Structure 1
Amino acid sequence: MAALRAFESAQRAGAKIPEIVAYEKQDDWGGQWNYDWRSGTDKYGEPVHSSMYRNLWSNGPKEALEFAEYTFDEHFGRPISSYPPREVLWDYIDGRVRKSKVKDKVQFSTAVRWVDYDRDQDIFTVTVENLRSGKTTSSEFDRIIVATGHFSFPNVPEFEGIDSFPGTVQHAHDFRGAEKLADQRVLLIGASYSAEDIGVQAFKMGARSVTMSYRTGPMGYDWPDGIEELPLVDRFEGQTVHFTDGETREFDSVILCTGYLHKYPFLPGELALYSPNNIYPASLYRGVVWQKNPKVYYLGAQDQWFTFNMFDAQAWYVRDLILGRAALPSAEQRAAHMRQWRDRFQELDGDADDVRFQAEYIRDLIDATDYPMFDLDEVVRIFLAWKQEKKENIITYRDKSHPSVITGTMATTHHTTWLQELDDSLERYLSTPERSEVEAIVVGTEPDAEKDEAATQE
């Protein structure tokens, strides 16, 4: 979507753009934000792309991901809270291109089966299958943009005795909701964002206990009663799990929050990125140009602090390379540039360094294009404030508010606290529900008085 928007932006400004075809395996766009209740395989028998689950709310402030050229104010016409649910964010990214014709360039329900590169003719042949009709076709292209993301192929480790566990075992990729975890003893293996969020979701939905197992170090939040962290799992013996510190616990459900693999089954080895999940993968000049074949580009291949606006910065730069607006350095110059950034990356020490590094990376890309510059230092400040708010209270940080870096608008406070909000629909989020008598008493306002005040304002 970012790539299509970048070309559309140039075309609206009068530029001549090349023929563009986008292949999308899902029936609609939105990537991870396009929720599908299915897990494992979709209705066509294809691997499910999205790892989205019910009641997922943004775990980072929306102000840190806001598009510089399409604000939340413009889309919703009013301030909203800093941590919207999934459907609200999907509506925002869809709304940016809803009135344009870029969707006409997308062939939905179409899986890319293989990409072949002919060195002699300098042409890519892309073979795709229309999943609805079953028809397979091939087309030739001059450039390839790989914009699939890299959070769809789960990394699934092995643990001794796990095959003896009588409860449910699943990867976070297949997790679709915490409601079924009510009154269960839940083990989450992992110590990053998936474990953190699914853990507090399970707590919110009434899990009897939540245990998170870490490999290198605990997340270290001030967890509420009912949530704990223990070191790595040593082995399973039926329902009993042994940890490396000698502790044992019994569980009903296990969720593997063990990350994802860079996997591109439609690409030959010489075009496919192989990398750990980090913020500066090797072999990508400026994080987007495949060094071994600079007519192949990757968007969003990094681990991410910034998201939507980073994808934009990357897409605008790739667009300008394709349009000839930006010059591509020689292979030797690209390699030297990558070494400089990789050296900086290797010296990073902690989250604050990572955020600042990614901000500088984005600044470097934006400086090379006409994408609107925004206050990246302020976004860094918001990220660091967010980290502190999580440290202070991992359950209530989503109830905090931040100002828009683009418009200055301060986010509102959502009408219901995250812990109490069980409806993540767009309709509910944008509504103004009446307070119940209990809620009114808690906040010190009688329901009738509220109605009278609202009538007076009208």
Structure 2
Amino acid sequence: MSLCIIGAGTAGLCCARHSQLHGFQITVFELSERIGGTWVYNEATKVKNGIDVHSSMYENLRTNLPKEVMGFPDFEIPENDVSYYIKFNSYVIRVLQKNKKWQVLVKDLLTNQIEFQYFDKIMVANGHYHTPNYIRIPNMNRFQGDYLHSHDYRTSGIFKGKTVLVIGAGPSGMDLSNIISRSAARVSLSHHLSDIENTKFYDNVYQKPDVRELDEKGAFFVDGSYEEFDTIFFCTGYKYAFPFLTVNSGIYVEENYVQGLYKHCINIRNPTMALIGLPFYVCAAQMMDIQARFILSYYNGSNQLPSREDMLKDTQTRMSKLWEDGYRKRHAHMLGPKQIHYFTDLAETAGVKNIKPVMTKLHNESSKCFNDNLLHFREDNFAILDDETFVKLN
């Protein structure tokens, strides 16, 4: 049985590894010339080979998670006479269901040759840190300074001597505020979060509330204050984007909520398609591994999927609880401390091995350390003692 995987980053490689073990004939289409996805540093920004640059990696980026939670549950790939086949520099233009197959239209970026290929099943692993999300601020068109999104940031030299307004205090916004402050004259971090008020930044980084509106030279904030800036630096995250999926694929995105999915990954309308790696604030590699094993338990015939009606009901019940708890659509795939419940649900539903609880415990601890000790949390050193327990060594 043939299986197409879009993307050779962390998610795609994980899918390929498990699909290989189950005997699928695999083709992986990768936009770039290397494996690694968003983790491959690329000095280029904007457009390359006529395609938007995928990676958002910047110079000197260091992971904000302990290395222990970033590996796969089973790192080594066993010896096998058949390997998966990765086609690099392959731009997937369109994925269309046709005659009970998935027709994939692919362009070779080196030769410009276009071809059709057909697959029984397809796993979409194109990541979700590639399409910038810009928030709307009143009178944005009036500002005469520079705009930049973290997707297009590579080195801090561009901010030398400048006053910079950073918008957004997620992991990237907090990390980059400190990094660029070594070059910038002043950095103001605008956000509405309550749990980082006491976080310590470098001396020339100042926390500000949300921006009310802009004028030609700067920003008015909701507390009534005003500051002038040379550059507005958007660290406002990314949009889920699947430009190669047709409108009848069964998948659509509304306010960054990818809809039509069972357990965040299986296409309810067309279950021979699955999307890997959507949930965030998680042990990403570990999560992708259990998602791949969950999906393949149905694709290889070990399990039988519920009816479309039952999958829809399961999804509606889960999402209704989120809305009742005050979540917005853009939070639909946010797990954080609740990630262990998702992993357990996948494991119990499909009868696959769960992720070791220590991984989620360590992930949650590191997230807390990130806020509490932003300047020095990367100096922490951990050791995993068993499936449930870790210790901090320093």
* TM-score (ref. length: structure 2): 0.85
Task: Give 5+ residue unaligned stretches, structure 2.
Answer: 1-9
The DSSP-based 3-state class of the residue aligned with 2:61 is: coil
Counterpart among 33, 57, 64 of residue 59 in structure 1: 64
More helix by share: 1
Task: Give 5+ residue unaligned stretches, structure 1.
Answer: 71-95, 414-458
Counterpart among 18, 21, 25 of residue 24 in structure 2: 18
Q: Tell me whether 366-375 or 126-135 shows the greater mean CA deviation.
A: 366-375
Residues 294 and 347, structure 2, Cα contact 8 Å, conserved in 1 = yes
Residues 290 and 354, structure 2, Cα contact 8 Å, conserved in 1 = no
Q: Which residue of 1 aligns with 2:5?
A: none
Task: Select the structure of larger CA radius of gyration.
Answer: 1
Kindly tell me: are residues 158 and 242 of structure 1, through their superposed partners in 2, closer, same or farther at Cα, counting changes over 3 Å?
same
Q: Which residue of 2 aligns with 1:392?
A: 372
User: Is 2:40 the partner of 1:34?
Assistant: yes
One-letter code of the match for 1:392?
A: D
The DSSP-based 3-state class of the residue aligned with 1:169 is: strand
Q: Which residue of 2 aligns with 1:355?
A: 336
The DSSP-based 3-state class of the residue aligned with 2:227 is: strand
Q: Which residue of 2 aligns with 1:185?
A: 163
Counterpart among 310, 331, 336 of residue 287 in structure 2: 310
One-letter code of the match for 1:366?
A: A
The structural deviation recorded for 1:360 is 1.4
Counterpart among 264, 274, 290 of residue 242 in structure 2: 264
One-letter code of the match for 2:93?
A: R
The structural deviation recorded for 1:397 is 1.0
RMSD over aligned Cα, in angstroms? Answer: 3.0
The structural deviation recorded for 1:53 is 0.5
* TM-score (ref. length: structure 1): 0.74
Q: Which residue of 2 aligns with 1:167?
A: 145
The structural deviation recorded for 1:193 is 1.8
User: Is 2:99 the partner of 1:114?
Assistant: no
Residues 339 and 360, structure 2, Cα contact 8 Å, conserved in 1 = no
Q: Which residue of 2 aligns with 1:86?
A: none
Q: Which residue of 2 aligns with 1:297?
A: 274
C-alpha distance in 2 between matches for 1:313 and 1:264: 22
C-alpha distance in 2 between matches for 1:188 and 1:39: 19
The structural deviation recorded for 1:176 is 1.0
The structural deviation recorded for 1:255 is 0.8
Residues 69 and 372, structure 1, Cα contact 8 Å, conserved in 2 = no
Kindly tell me: are residues 276 and 308 of structure 1, through their superposed partners in 2, closer, same or farther at Cα, counting changes over 3 Å?
farther
Q: Deviations over 1:224-276 (max 9, x none)?
A: 33222222222333333221221111222211112222221111123233144
User: Is 2:328 the partner of 1:328?
Assistant: no
C-alpha distance in 2 between matches for 1:107 and 1:400: 39
Kindly tell me: are residues 284 and 221 of structure 1, through their superposed partners in 2, closer, same or farther at Cα, counting changes over 3 Å?
farther
The structural deviation recorded for 1:28 is 1.0
More strand by share: 2
User: Is 2:141 the partner of 1:136?
Assistant: no
Kindly tell me: are residues 409 and 164 of structure 1, through their superposed partners in 2, closer, same or farther at Cα, counting changes over 3 Å?
same
One-letter code of the match for 1:117?
A: Q
User: Is 2:128 the partner of 1:150?
Assistant: yes
Kindly tell me: are residues 131 and 3 of structure 1, through their superposed partners in 2, closer, same or farther at Cα, counting changes over 3 Å?
closer
Name the % identity. 25
The structural deviation recorded for 1:41 is 0.8
One-letter code of the match for 1:45?
A: G
Residues 67 and 309, structure 1, Cα contact 8 Å, conserved in 2 = yes
The structural deviation recorded for 1:325 is 1.4
The structural deviation recorded for 1:284 is 1.1
Q: Deviations over 1:106-150 (max 9, x none)?
A: 1110001111223xx212211110000000001112212111112
One-letter code of the match for 1:181?
A: F
Q: Which residue of 1 aligns with 2:360?
A: 380
Q: Which residue of 2 aligns with 1:447?
A: none
Kindly tell me: are residues 60 and 41 of structure 1, through their superposed partners in 2, closer, same or farther at Cα, counting changes over 3 Å?
same
Kindly tell me: are residues 242 and 349 of structure 1, through their superposed partners in 2, closer, same or farther at Cα, counting changes over 3 Å?
closer
Aligned length: 377
One-letter code of the match for 1:211?
A: S
Kindly tell me: are residues 380 and 349 of structure 1, through their superposed partners in 2, closer, same or farther at Cα, counting changes over 3 Å?
farther
Kindly tell me: are residues 162 and 366 of structure 1, through their superposed partners in 2, closer, same or farther at Cα, counting changes over 3 Å?
same
C-alpha distance in 1 between matches for 2:78 and 2:158: 35
